[in-house]
Amino acid sequence: MNRHRKTDLPGPKARALIARDAEVVSPSYPREGPLAMSHGRGCEVWDLDGNRFLDFAAGIAVCSTGHAHPEVVAAIKDAADRFLHISSDWWHEGMVRLAERLAAVAPFREPAMSFFCQSGTEAVEAALKLARYATGRPRFLGFLGSFHGRTMGSLAFTSSKATQVKGFFPAMPGVTHVPYPNPLRPLFAGNDQGRAVLDYIENQLFEGPVPPSEVAAILVEPIQGEGGYLVPPNGFLAGLRALCDRHGILLIFDEVQSGVGRTGRMFACEHWNVEPDLMTLAKGLGSGLPIGALVARRSIMERWPSGAHGNTYGGNPIACAAAIATLDLVERELQANAAEVGGYLFAKLTELARKHEQIAEVRGRGLMIGMEVVADRATLQPDPDLVDTVIERAFHNGLLLLSCGKSTIRFMPPLVVTRAEVDEAIEILAASFEEALAGVNASPAVTA
């Protein structure tokens, strides 16, 4: 049903590129489908063979302002015309201005300071190092199903998929995992899974194997991303805040995926009015340019002295220019668009869920929405094969999607997405769902 398809998928040019890639690029990348991109505008992407796709994955929630937003491209060109790099050994306007902008929007009552890097995992590493440095404590709590990155510190927390962890033990020691509250799939007795997790930490862990006086920080995604787009029950983040305050533990919110307007607020934690002590950002912050940031309450960040942590590329002038232009757009219009069009998308997905026994739940905030797919609603048995087939059919029909968790399709289009584009995406999704249920043949293998 792809009205914009010019060739079979993958087309000859895509196949040729994918074959060359297989010879020289690491096979460790978790590839989703045989898209070989040529160019993009807004929510649209074209492949090398001229096929057009609607992009509801946004480069894993990165292209917040859409592909090649003219204001972001102009800011990048302007910065590139002046200089490409100076390093954090010296000063430049863009880095200071970006830190000022982040301080103005940071969800802290106290003034904020920023540390810059290139990626989400580095922002998390910086948060872990600062938490250890500032508290003098060695341990951390993290959450089952979380994703915080793939370097040895963040990997010690990451637990959304076994393949990300298997073969790399030991990562950083001292991390204890706790269940992330999930009312659809409760691990504890009772109706309030958030309360139950908090009680488990307080009564089981803190009175047993994890003395709270040794815990530097709790690292948590305010909406769990790779683990399944799980929205925590009301009161959970506030409960974590209270628990941290009782024990002198720092609270780190990883907003790498949920931050910078994606959920219809600048940061997801604002939905519950809960303040972290440290916050990590990346992905949508640079609209596609590699930039990460650790934003911290000033009284914590000013504790580490010159030389305690740094890097070569942090605060790169081009990445900073892209981030400032992104924040301008998000503040001016995209945050509101994410809330408005996100609500529309949520309603449309909920309508689709009413038609299909295999859609157990639609959940999320703004343009961070997950649709959990199961064998049937009675058993809630995850059905990852159905998820893969729907995503594959959607690709063939001209819609880019990604999965998350065990059995969830996620929707994270650029924040510029319109209602008309949502209508088109829903039409393709509905048809793809029908095709998948009818057992339409899967696409040819990526490298065939």
Residues that bind ligand PLP (CB under 6 A): 60, 119-121, 124, 147-149, 221, 225-226, 254, 256-257, 282
Neighbours of 347 (CB within 10 A): 11
CB of 158 to ligand PLP, least distance (A): 8
CB of 172 to ligand PLP, least distance (A): 15
DSSP per residue, 48-91: TTS-EEEESSHHHHT-TT-BT-HHHHHHHHHHHHH-S---TTS-
Considering the complex, state which of residue 16 and residue 60 has its C-beta at the smaller distance from ligand PLP: 60
Considering the complex, state which of residue 257 and residue 358 has its C-beta at the smaller distance from ligand PLP: 257
Q: How far is CA 131 from CA 179, 252, 302, in A?
A: 22, 9, 12
Considering the complex, state which of residue 124 and residue 196 has its C-beta at the smaller distance from ligand PLP: 124
Considering the complex, state which of residue 192 and residue 277 has its C-beta at the smaller distance from ligand PLP: 277
CB of 386 to ligand PLP, least distance (A): 23
Nearest position to ligand PLP, beta carbon = 120
CB of 122 to ligand PLP, least distance (A): 7
d(CA 214, CA 212): 5
Considering the complex, state which of residue 2 and residue 119 has its C-beta at the smaller distance from ligand PLP: 119
CB of 270 to ligand PLP, least distance (A): 16
d(CA 130, CA 221): 18
Sorted by sequence, the CB contacts under 8 Å of residue 305 that are 6+ apart come out as: none
Residue count (the chain): 448
CB of 359 to ligand PLP, least distance (A): 23
DSSP character at residue 230: B
Considering the complex, state which of residue 240 and residue 359 has its C-beta at the smaller distance from ligand PLP: 240
Q: How far is CA 299 from CA 108, 110, 113, 305, 366, in A?
A: 11, 8, 9, 13, 32
State the Cα angle at 67 between 65 and 69, rounded to 5°.
55
CB of 3 to ligand PLP, least distance (A): 32
Q: What is the largest CA-CA distance in the chain?
A: 63
Considering the complex, state which of residue 130 and residue 426 has its C-beta at the smaller distance from ligand PLP: 130
d(CA 309, CA 114): 12
